[in-house]
Every structure is written in structure tokens, then in C-alpha cells.
Amino acid sequence: MTANTPDRIEIRDGADHVEVVGLSAQDVQRAIELYRAVDDSKLQARAALEDYLNQALLSQDTELLSTPTQRQVQRTAALRQRLMNDSGYETYESLAHLRESQVSSVRTWAARARERGDLFTVKLKGSTLIPKVQLSTHGDLNAKVTTLVRPLIASGLDEWSIWAWLATSTGLLSGEVPAEVVEHEPERAQRAADRYAAEMSRIRDSAA
């Protein structure tokens, strides 16, 4: 902050913006950049700690997980890798480039879409990935896929599971892929998404 920063700063909520009274635009921008730098540092530190612990555990001459659990972990890792390779994803930076926008604008857009339940993102080693399956070729939300995303998010499914359901074949659509079916048979795809979300909600409630 500058040497002329007042003792009292007032924050006012507008309809679609926030006003900060008592600070210059430059001061506000510096505060935002500092917050993001700290947040990114925390994510990087957490990822580094996880990597360190994993390496430390794997270096021990002991069986850490049962064979079935190891196989499940391997299957999960393979599925996630396949989703990233086949379905694809964007980062804040790559999406900003696609949209010819600022990274900060993309972050704000993504945060608001997540709050509405229209968008899901996944975390990987401290980075945020935005699965392409829910985006248009121009980097906006694909409205048809968004209608499938909403009930899945509301059901409590984790983000990787949502991605997997949208981008892989399902018995609810006779082996077809939901994100592909919704383009030409939106009502059929919607029924499948609603049915799957309802089933996941029941499982979650019964386990509570």
C-alpha cells in the first residue's frame, strides 16, 4: 500500500461489482496480485509436500496398500490420464489466450460460473484444469453440456467423476457418450444426467 493509505477503508457491494473506498486503483490491483501470489504459493507448497510424502512412503520396503486398493488407485490414475489426453483441458492461461483476454478475467469468469453451478474444474498438482468437454470452441460454456453439469454438481459428485461421466460411454445412453449425445438428442441426454444425479444423491444420503 502507499504511504497515503487511510486508516479506514470501506468496501461496498454493488449489483455486479465491488467498490473499495479509500484506496487507489493501483493499490487494489497490488492487493489482488499479492493475494493471488500467496494463494498460488500455498497450492505449490501443498503439491510439493504431497510429492515428498509419496516419494518417502514409496521408498520404504513395506506394503502400504492392499493389492485391491493398489489396483483401484492405478485404475483411477489411468482414467484421469485418459480424460486429460482424450477429452482435453484448458488452464486459466491457455483459456485466456484462446479468448484473447486477461488471465484475471478468466479467473473471475470461472469463479462466477462455479458459484452458479454451471462449471466444474479439477485440481492437479496445485494447478486448476478446466475440462474442455464443457466448453465451446471459442472457450465459452457449451450451453447444452451445462444443462448436464448442473444436476451432477448438485448431486455432490466430485469433479473428476463428473468429467468421467460426461466424456465416457454410459449404459444409461446405451454405451454412448453424454457430451456427444446432448448435441443431437439433448432431452435424452438430460434424462440420463438427471437419473444418474438422482442415483448418486441417494447413495450419498444413505452413506450420511
Residues 157 and 102 in one domain: yes
Q: Yes or no: say if 114 and 120 are a contact pair by the CB < 8 Å rule.
A: yes
In the chain the beta strands, taken as DSSP E runs, fall at: 10-13, 18-21, 89-90, 122-124, 127-131
- State the DSSP H helix or E strand holding residue 204, giving kind and residue range, or none if neither: helix 186-207
Distance CA(149)–CA(92), nearest Å, equals: 20
Residues 41 and 127 in one domain: no
Secondary structure (3-state) at 148: helix
Q: Please give the grid coordinates belonging to residue 59.
A: 521408498
Same domain, 130 and 197: yes
Round to whole Å and give the CA distance between 178 and 188: 9
Residues (pLDDT < 70) of the chain are: 1-20, 22-23, 28, 31-70, 73, 208
pLDDT at 37: 59
Domain that holds residue 98: 86-207
Cell of 5: 493509505
pLDDT of residue 16: 58
Instruction: Report the pLDDT value the prediction gives residue 161, as an integer from 0 to 100.
Output: 94
Tens of pLDDT along 137-191? 999 999 999 999 999 999 999 999 999 999 999 999 999 999 999 999 999 999 9
Query: For the chain, what is the radius of gyration of the CA atoms?
Result: 21
How many domains is the chain partitioned into structurally? 2
Which residue spans within 62-178 are E strands per DSSP? 89-90, 122-124, 127-131
- Please tell me the predicted confidence (pLDDT) of residue 2: 47
Tell me, what's the pLDDT at 154? 95
35 and 93 inside one domain: no
Both 104 and 189 in one domain: the answer is yes
